[in-house]
A and B are shown apart, each in its own frame.
Chain A
Amino acid sequence: MSGLELIDVSKSYGATRVLDGVSLSIAPREFIAFLGPSGSGKSTLLRIIAGLETLDSGEVHLGGQRIDGLAPGARGIAMVFQHYALYPHMTVRENMAFGLINAKVPKDEIASRIAQAADILEIGSQLDKKPGQMSGGQRQRVAIGRAIVKQPRLFLLDEPLSNLDAALRSRTRVELAQLRNRVDAALIMVTHDQAEAMTLADRIVVMNDRRIQQVGTPAEVYARPANAFVARFVGSPAMAMLAGRVISGESGRLRVRLAGGAELQTAVAAAGIAADAPVEVGLRPEHVTLAPPGSGGIAATVELVERLGDRTFIYTRLAEGSEVIACAPGFSEVRPGDEVLLAIDAAAAHVFSADGTAHHPEASA
C-alpha cells in the first residue's frame, strides 16, 4: 500500500500564489517534517492535505485513493491543531469519542479505543475532566489522543510543540518520537523549528517561497543542502556566507578568492563553474576555529560570544564586512572586541553559484 502522494499541487489566494507546483511522495509509515519560515506555504500544504483548504490544481492521493475531492472527515486523516482545538464543552472522553460516534463506530469499540489511547498517553485519570481544567501539556495529550483513536492512515501535526514551555517541549518531543512507533500511520509535522525537524523526522521537506526547496534526511539536508536558502535555514547558528570569486580549478577542485583577499582551496569539484564566476562560500561554525596568534589565519573582530558550556560560538566580522561564526571547544575566554585569527577548514566549505545552486565538497581521495 502506498502512502501519501502530492502531484503538482498549486494554490492561490486571489492574486497571491501560496503554493506553486508542489509534488511529494511519502511512504506509509514515514515521519515527515515540513520545515520553513512563516509564509513559506507549509501550513497551507498541510491544510490542503487535511481538506481544510481546497487546491486550485493538482492531486492528493492517500493509500492509493485520490482524496482531494473528499470531505476532511472522509480522508482517513487525523490532525493535531496548533492550539489543540479541543471542544471546550465536552469532557476528554467526549472529545475523543466525537469523531468515532460520527463515523458510527460501535460503542464498545469506542470505549476500548479510548481506554487504550488514554493508557498510552497516561491521561486515564483525566477522562471526565473538561479541557479548561487541564494544563497545556495535558490538553496536547488529549489532542493527540483524539487523533490516535481514529486510527488514521495519516497524522498531521501543526506546530505541535510551539505552545509548550521549554521543559515540556523536550519531553513532548520524546513522546512524539515514541508515538510514531506505536501508530501504523505516516506522520507529517509542520514546524519552523529546525531542531524539531532534525530530531524527529525521517525526512525533512524544506519549504520556502511557495515551493519545496529540498526533500531529504536530516543528515542530507544538513550536510548537502540543495541551495543557499536551505544551507542558511538549516543549522544553528546559521551557515556563514562569504562572497568571493573563482580563481582557478586546481586538480579539478575549486579555488576561491574571498572579498578580503584570502584564498581558500575547497574540495568542491570545479566542473561546471567558470573561472572568475562570483560565488558564495558557505562555512558552518564547526568548520571555523580560532587560530593561534602568529599563524596564518584570517583576521576578524569578535562581536558576540555565546558560551554553551561544552562549546562556544564566536560571532566575528571580517575586515571586509562579512560575518563568520567560529566554534571553540569548552569555555572560550575571548570577549567582544578582541582581534582574533580564524582557521578555516576549506575542505569542508560549500560553494554556491550566483543562482543559489549548491556545490558540495567531495570526500578527499
Chain B
Amino acid sequence: MNRARRDALVGYAFVGPFLLVYAAVLVVPLLMGIVISFNNADLFGRREWIGLANYAQALSDPVLRQAFFNTLTLTLLIVPPLTVIALLLALALNRNTRLAAVLRGVFFSSLVLSVTIVTLIWRFILTPDAGLVAVGLQAVGQPPIPFLSDPAYVIPALAVTTLWWSLGFPIMLFLAGLQQVPGDIYEAAALDGAGRWTVFRRITLPSIRRTLLLVVMLQTAAQLQIFGQAQLLTGGGPGGASRTIVLYIFEVSFGRWELGYATAIAELLFGMILLVTLLQYWFVTRQEGDRA
C-alpha cells in the first residue's frame, strides 16, 4: 500500500465514527422527514402516501398562518435590537478594565441559564398580581398590565424575555470580532483625524462585517425556531396570539399525532430559514468583492 493511500485511510478512520453518528442522527432523519411529509403518518409508524396533500393543507391552514406571522413578528422584534444592543455592549466592554471583565461575565451568565429558568424569572417580572413591573407601575399610580394574557402585549413580552436571554452569545461574538481588528489601524485613523463616529462607521463596522453577518444569520435562524419561551411562558396563548411555528409543529405532532402534517410544516420552515439566511449572506457579501 503506498503512502498516500495509507494516509487517506487513516484520515477516513478518524472522521468515520463522526460521519456515522452524524448520518444516523441528522442526515437520515432529515431525509426521512422529507419522505414522511408526503405521507399521512402517525407516531406509531402508520404511513399512507398522499403526495403533496400535507403541503396543500399547510398553505390553507389559518392556525399556521397565525403562527407564521407571530414567528415573523417575534424575529423582527428580536433580531435587530439584539444585534444593535449586543454590538453597543461589546463596544463598551471591549477594554482591559476589571469592571469590563466583570460585566462581560454578567452579560454572558444569562446565556448559561436554561429556558425553564429564564421563563420562571420573567414570569416573576411580568405577572400582573405581584410582578416587578406591576409593582413599579403601581408605585407611579398605574394599573398593572397583563403582559401574558393580553394579545397585544404577549408578543413584545416574549421578545423582551428572549432579548434578555440571548444577549450573551452575540456579545461574545462581537468581542471576539473586535479583538481581531489590529490596534494600529485605529492609531492610523487617529492620525488621519477621524472622529469617533467616523472611526466606528469607516473602520470598526467594516472590520467586523463578517461577525455582524454571522450574528444576524445565527439569530435569525434561532428566532425563527423560537419555541421554549412561548411554550413555557404562555403556552401559545391567549387564543394562539403567541403560538409560534415550532410550537405549532410540536402541538400537531405530539398533541394531534399528525406526524406527516407536522413534518411538512417543518420542511417549509427549514426552507424558509435556508432562504432567509442565504439572502442575508448574499446581501452582505455581494459588494465585498475579492478581499484578503
Contact = CB atoms under 8 A, between A and B. Distances in A.
A72 B182 contact: no
B8 interface: no
B184 A131 contact: no
Given A83-B182, A85-B185, A132-B291, A72 B191 contact: yes
B206 interface: yes
B184 A72 contact: no
A236 interface: no
B190 A102 contact: no
A71 B193 contact: yes
B292 A88 contact: yes
A98 to B, nearest CB: 5
Interface of A: 50-52, 71-74, 77-79, 81-83, 85-90, 98-99, 102-103, 130-133, 146, 150
A83 B194 CA distance: 20
Given A83-B182, A87-B185, A89-B209, A77 B191 contact: yes
B145 interface: no
Which of B188, B202, B209 has the most chain A CB within a 10 Å cutoff? B188
Contacts of B198: 102
B292 A98 contact: no
A122 B206 CA distance: 28
Nearest to B184: A85
Contacts, number: 79
Interface in B171-226: 182, 184-185, 187-195, 198, 202-203, 206-207, 209
Nearest to B183: A85
B184 A81 contact: yes
Nearest to B193: A73
Contact of A88 (B192, B195, B289, B291): B291
14 contacts: A52-B187, A71-B193, A72-B193, A74-B193, A81-B184, A88-B185, A89-B206, A89-B207, A89-B209, A99-B193, A99-B194, A102-B192, A102-B195, A102-B198
A51 B187 CA distance: 9
Which of A71, A72, A131, A146 has the most chain B CB within a 10 Å cutoff? A72
Contact of B291 (A89, A99, A146, A150): A89
Contacts of B202: 87, 90, 98
Contacts of A130: 289-292
Contact of B190 (A72, A90, A146): A72
Nearest to B198: A102
A87 B195 contact: no
A99 B191 contact: yes
Given A74-B193, A133-B290, A85 B188 contact: yes
Contact of A132 (B195, B207, B209, B292): B292
A239 B41 CA distance: 92
Contacts of A132: 291-292
Contacts of A90: 202, 206
Nearest to A156: B191
Contacts of B209: 89
Contacts of B187: 50, 52, 72, 79, 81, 85
Contacts of B185: 85-88
Given A73-B191, A146-B192, 9 more contacts: A50-B187, A51-B190, A88-B292, A89-B206, A90-B206, A98-B192, A99-B193, A99-B194, A132-B292
Contacts of A85: 182, 184-185, 187-188
Give 10 nearest A-B pairs by CB, closest first: A132-B292, A73-B193, A99-B192, A85-B184, A89-B206, A85-B188, A102-B193, A72-B190, A72-B191, A85-B185
A79 B206 CA distance: 23
Contacts of B291: 88-89, 130, 132
B292 A81 contact: no
B193 A103 contact: yes
Contacts of B184: 81-83, 85
A81 B185 CA distance: 9
A157 B202 CA distance: 24
Contacts of A99: 191-194
Nearest to B206: A89
Which of B184, B193, B194, B292 has the most chain A CB within a 10 Å cutoff? B193
A215 B189 CA distance: 32
B190 A71 contact: yes
B138 to A, nearest CB: 51
Which of B184, B203, B207, B289 has the most chain A CB within a 10 Å cutoff? B184
A52 B195 CA distance: 15
A90 B291 CA distance: 9
A152 to B, nearest CB: 9
B207 to A, nearest CB: 7
A131 B292 CA distance: 8
Which of B191, B193, B198 has the most chain A CB within a 10 Å cutoff? B191
A245 B3 CA distance: 70
A81 B190 CA distance: 13
A50 to B, nearest CB: 6
A102 B188 CA distance: 13
Contacts of B290: 130, 133
B206 A52 contact: no
A73 B190 contact: yes
A88 B210 CA distance: 13
A87 B191 CA distance: 13
A87 B292 contact: no
A132 B291 CA distance: 6
B192 A133 contact: no
Interface in B96-125: none
B193 A79 contact: no
Contact of B207 (A86, A88, A133): A88
B188 A79 contact: yes
A3 B118 CA distance: 64
Which of A83, A87, A103 has the most chain B CB within a 10 Å cutoff? A87
Contacts of B206: 87, 89-90
Interface in B268-292: 289-292
